[in-house]
Amino acid sequence: MHRSAPRLSRVLACAAVPVMLVAAGCSSGSDSSTDKGSSPDKAASSAGASAAPSSAAPTKKAVEPAKFAKLPDVCKAVSSKTVEELVPKAKSKKGTAAASSDLNNRGGCAWNGLEDKGTKGSNYRWLDVSLYRYESDATLGSGQERAAGNYTKELAKAQKAEGAKDAKTSEASGVGEKAETVTYKLRKTDEDFQYASVVARTGNVVALVTYNGAGYAGSKTPSDKWIVDGALKAAKEAVAAVEAANK
């Protein structure tokens, strides 16, 4: 009975330590610190070694490479034949390039002109093409994912054009991996303009094409269909130019 008190204290002390240490340092049957088997120090070392793999930092998942490495010359992304068809009497058939500090990632070009038809009035046309390329980034995502996000933003902008009336959005087939067309009417310079904006994505590139027109001095405003067809034609050529530039 006299020896049971120290033994009971030892049992209670062992109950308070982690299970992995109990098995090594609190052997049953002997009060001696010279018991055979693993010592507490060795057990702790073993426990630390076994826990090491779980504490290692997780390996980062590789980001998918960007599909396209460069953009074409945007002013050459639409054929001269198409420009002549959509913008008769363009001020510059070669187009006016948009200012850009990084042509490999963003560029634009615009054409506009007024076709004088004498007593039948005049037809004004304006075509604008913009291309945006997104590189893959470990923190921001793949180029394709980033382009998809900015596709949504560009579409929202087109849908909320200031002063737009009768705005409609519809899917466009045959233009990249995904495309939508936004059409609307806009009153300016005392004339009714018909607009069509095509937002398209191919790989890690977003293409934005806007085409509009109006009639002056008795000439009629171009039809919705004419403007949409023209915008889609230019958009298809711009997307094809991106793919051709990366072959």
Q: What is the pLDDT of residues 155-185, one digit of tens each?
A: 999 999 999 999 999 999 999 999 999 999 9
At 50, is the pLDDT very low, low, confident or very high (cuts 50, 70, 90)?
very low
What's the pLDDT tens digit per position in 95-110?
A: 999 999 999 999 999 9
Q: What is the CA radius of gyration of the chain?
A: 35
Report the percentage of the chain scoring pLDDT > 70.
75
Helical (H) or strand (E) element with 201:
strand 191-202
Retrieve residue 5's tokens: 């008190």
At 58, is the pLDDT very low, low, confident or very high (cuts 50, 70, 90)?
low
Flag whether pLDDT at 39 surpasses 70: no
User: Which of 7-21, 44-58, 60-74, 85-99 has the weakest average pLDDT?
Assistant: 7-21
Flag whether pLDDT at 61 surpasses 60: yes
Residues 6+ positions from 139 with CB-CB distance below 8 Å? none
| Amino acid 43: pLDDT | 46
Contact in structure between 78 and 93 (CB atoms under 8 Å): no
At 78, is the pLDDT very low, low, confident or very high (cuts 50, 70, 90)?
very high
| Amino acid 119: pLDDT | 84
- Domain spans of the chain, in order of start: 4-55, 74-245
The rounded mean pLDDT for the chain is 83
| Amino acid 32: pLDDT | 42
Nearest to 195 by CA among 119, 125, 120: 125
Interior angle at CA 32, CA 30 and CA 33, nearest 5: 125
Does pTM surpass 0.85? no
User: Which of 51-55, 188-192, 221-225 has the weakest average pLDDT?
Assistant: 51-55
CA–CA distance, 175 with 201 (Å, rounded to integer): 8
CA–CA distance, 200 with 93 (Å, rounded to integer): 24
What's the pLDDT tens digit per position in 8-18?
A: 344 334 444 44
CA–CA distance, 209 with 236 (Å, rounded to integer): 10
CA–CA distance, 153 with 138 (Å, rounded to integer): 21
What's the pLDDT tens digit per position in 184-201?
A: 999 998 899 999 999 999
Please tell us whether the domain made up of 74-245 is placed in CATH 3.40.1000.
yes
CA–CA distance, 193 with 182 (Å, rounded to integer): 14
Flag whether pLDDT at 86 surpasses 50: yes
